[in-house]
Amino acid sequence: MTELRRRMIEELQLRNYSPNTVEIYVRCVAKFAQHFKLSPDRLGPEHIRQYQLFLVQRKKVAWAVFNQTVCALRFFYHHVLHRDWMIEHIPYPRHEEKLPVVLSPAEVAAVFDATRNLKHRTILMTIYAAGLRVSELTHLRVSDIDSKRQVICVRQGKGRKDRQVMLSPKLLEVLRIYWKSYRPTVWLFPGNPPDRPITRETVLTICRQTGEAAHLSKRISPHTLRHCFATHLLEDAIDLRRIQVLLGHRNLKTTAKYLHVSNLAVRSTVSPLDRLPDVNDPTTAR
């Protein structure tokens, strides 16, 4: 491990960044350095500009990936190299407003029906039933399922915050069947080796393959099921503040995006066409 990499990891850890964020930021800076085949402390504003253009024009990366790179480079130059003047040379792009992909309840049921693998089905049902992030799902322990209090304890979610979510009675039945078949001891969903939790990459693959098996036109991911959890609650008239708490959002504005994808307001709004006086039968129009 190079000295710069070690220092960056330490600075991230001192600020209590999650292990996943540490891994992503270090990887982004490493790719930046590999692109120019130089140590990142020898690269300047023009290199950053060239690399940003490379990501947009040549690699055509998603804006989420681009923003991760921007955040990683800003952190590296500010906290590791202490070159504050570099920050103005690493601008953020304009925020891209995209609505999340949401499945109908029937489509969610089709996803569950598309797999006969009990462990895979239980993983997908747990994400949807509790609205979990993939990192929260992978780090669930057997002891986090509190059947007496009917809650799931989410340890150290995003922002290093603990929270509780409801334990669906239907999910509890599935979890009991799953436990009898697999007998997990520490991690609810162990990986390979069993003393380690299942990886996020494995969960992503399970989602993708199950979505394809369900013959859905929409691509699904673990976050899609989390979006479905929030949107379906909103359409069942659960108030936004309660959904915010269940999702573990710091800001209510983050939760409010589900107002744009919920069809509750759309379905309850009368079209102005329906308020017009009766018009001629369209079949007689010329």
Length, in residues, of the chain: 286
Quick count: other Cβ atoms within 10 Å of Cβ 11?
Answer: 17
**Tens digit of pLDDT for each residue in 4-53?**
999 999 999 998 888 888 999 999 999 999 999 999 999 988 999 999 99
Indicate whether 127 pLDDT > 60: yes
d(CA 128, CA 225): 5
Question: Which overall architecture, per CATH, does domain 3-89 show?
Answer: Orthogonal Bundle (1.10)
Q: Kindly state the tokens that stand for 93.
A: 């792009």
Q: How confident is the model at residue 272 (pLDDT cuts 50, 70, 90)?
A: confident
Residue 157: what pLDDT?
62
Q: Which fold has domain 105-266?
A: hpI Integrase; Chain A (1.10.443)
**What confidence tens digit (pLDDT) does each residue in 176-217 have?**
999 999 999 999 999 989 899 999 999 999 999 999 999 988
Residue 249's SS3 state is coil
Are the CB atoms for 33 and 5 separated by under 8 Å?
A: no
Report domain extents, the chain.
Answer: 3-89, 105-266
Answer yes or no: 176 catalytic. Answer: no
CB of 191 closer than 8 Å to CB of 197: yes
Catalytic residue among 31, 141, 158, 257: 158
Please choose, from the candidates 75, 65, 20, the residue with its C-alpha nearest in 3D space to the C-alpha of residue 203: 20
For the question of residue 15 being annotated catalytic, the response is no
What is the Cα–Cα distance from 90 to 52, expressed in whole angstroms? Answer: 9
pTM above 0.75?
A: no
Catalytic residue among 133, 139, 227, 232: 133
Q: Is 258 a catalytic residue?
A: yes
Q: Which residues of 257-280 are buried (b: 16+ CB within 10 A; e: fewer)?
A: bbeebbeeeeeeeeeeeeeeeeee
Catalytic annotation on 200?
no
The CA angle 132-138-141, to the nearest 5 degrees, is 95
**Contact of 229 with 124, CB cutoff 8 Å:** no
Retrieve residue 100's tokens.
């999340």
Active site (annotated) includes residue 170: no
Set 47, 141, 223, 257: catalytic member: 223
DSSP state of 11: H
